[in-house]
Amino acid sequence: MANAINVSLNVNDTANLVSGAVVHNSFSGTIAGSYQLDTPEGRRCVVMVFEKYYMRTSSYASLSVTIDDFTGRTRVTSVASGGSQSLINFDWGVSQSFERVVESALAPYRVY
């Protein structure tokens, strides 16, 4: 399930904060790739994909984070997937855990 929040930071600061929370504050978090798009109007969108190994499921999970200011506010959307080795796709809470890393890092900057 996608989680979307608005924050008081600009796109670049938000991307740096998220990346730091996932990669630098984590034992096994890595960035798999990123992409940035700038519009002629000066708006920006950054897409980042992270991977993290979870020992409790003996598998990797991925986290896709999109940060944009297309509406005039910085919006962050995150979607986690993976973390399951079984055929029934039960991930033991890995996806929610991965998404919470982003939510926790951005909590002080969240605007409603």
Domain coordinates of the chain in residue numbers?
3-111
Q: Which class in CATH covers the domain with range 3-111? A: alpha beta
Return the pLDDT at 33. 96
Whether residue 111 is predicted with pLDDT greater than 70 in this model: the reply is yes
* pLDDT at 12 exceeding the cut of 80: yes
pLDDT in tens, 40-90: 999 999 999 999 887 766 678 889 999 999 999 999 999 988 755 554 454
93 pLDDT higher than 70:
no
- The model's pTM is 0.85
Mean pLDDT in the chain? 86
> How large is the angle between the packed helices 11-19 and 94-106, nearest 10 degrees?
130
Task: Tell me how far apart the alpha carbons of residues 48 and 66 are, in angstroms, rounded to a whole number.
Answer: 7
For residue 87, the model assigns a pLDDT of: 47
Cβ-based neighbour number of residue 44 at 10 Å: 17
Q: Write out the two tokens for 18.
A: 């998220």
